[in-house]
Amino acid sequence: MTAVESRPVEEHSTGSRRLTAGARAGAFVALTKPRIIELLLITTIPVMFLAEQGVPDPWLVLATCLGGYLSAGGANALNMYLDRDIDALMHRTGNRPLVTGAVSPRECLVFGLTLAVVSTLWFGLLVNWLSAALSLGALLFYVVGYTMLLKRRTPQNIVWGGIAGCMPVLIGWSSVTDSLSWAAFILFLVIFFWTPPHYWPLSMKVKEDYARVGVPMLPVIAANTVVARQIVLYSWVMVAVSLTLAPLGYAGWFYTVVAAGSGAWWLWEAHALRARARAGLTGARLKEMRLFHWSITYVSLLFLAVAIDPFLR
């Protein structure tokens, strides 16, 4: 990290001393990226219902969710520590606690490592050690695999880095059964193929930010038509994989109807984005964020169906 890159962080390094206790606490919560963790929990809890084929133990759900929050929060804090140089230069990350000086780099590092240790022990002692291993594996993959090795080196960063975001599915299943199954791996693959077409539209919107700091997100190095084509390809595979859950005996009619309906709408939006890209539309006319926002609705509907389906079979 160069002196120029680190200056925004260093200039505010004493800011944490002037904050109230509440503001300081809020800054540490912000390090965990709560909005992202909400999305992880959306995929964890429904899988627990599917694994239980009914209502799982409420205490187990609470323990799994809290452990997942601590683990993902630790990974996100360590991600901010490692990316603090580029976060200071990007518009979309300019208000993060390390950039504003609300939290110092040292505090962030200690906080992230502490959450990593606590979350692993939490899972191991209160849930099971398989879930603890999966949780730790997800954290290490996100911090080392994605943030340190992939993010700044390859446009495939979000494809393989997205594996960390798939792990809550396996953790949800293992927390109930202390094992894994093909149902869990199918839903793992759904999230794996969902992640690129979910994130690439956002990357298209803020590609100037990524270009400024040298992060080779696919929209930075490829034309919109190329990115849109990749989005369509991943979308078709994602929908196809989602529909295998029922034929293999893990879901019934309700899940199938929701997966087919929401998947059809997704494909409509993906092809519409490609059509706009091929027509040469840019800026607000490209409407890339339509698919980004729908992607969150899609995964919420799909996993809600995962939770409800066992009660209708």
Superfamily of domain 22-173: UbiA prenyltransferase (1.10.357.140)
Non-local CB neighbours of 234 within 8 Å, separated by 6+ positions: 193, 194, 196, 197
Tens of pLDDT, residue by residue over 227-274, are 999 999 999 999 999 999 999 999 999 999 999 999 999 999 999 999
CB 272 within 8 A of CB 285: no
CATH numeric code, 181-313: 1.20.120
DSSP E strands in 101-171: the ranges are none
Residue 188 tokens read as 């793992």
Tens of pLDDT, residue by residue over 106-162, are 999 999 999 999 999 999 999 999 999 999 999 999 999 999 999 999 999 999 999
Rounded to whole angstroms, what are the CA distances from 83 to 31, 199, 215?
A: 12, 18, 11
Residue 308 tokens read as 């409800």
The pTM of this model reads 0.92
pLDDT recorded at residue 11: 40
Residue ranges per structural domain of the chain: 22-173, 181-313
Span between the terminal Cα atoms of the chain, in Å: 56
Q: Do domains 22-173 and 181-313 have the same CATH topology?
A: no
CB 13 within 8 A of CB 161: no
Tens of pLDDT, residue by residue over 1-27, are 333 333 344 444 444 457 888 889 999
Cα–Cα distance, 270 to 64 (Å, whole number): 34
Residue 231 tokens read as 């989005």
243-273 core/surface letters (b: 16 or more CB in 10 A; e: else): bbbbeeebbbebbbebbeebbeebeebbeeb
pLDDT recorded at residue 142: 97
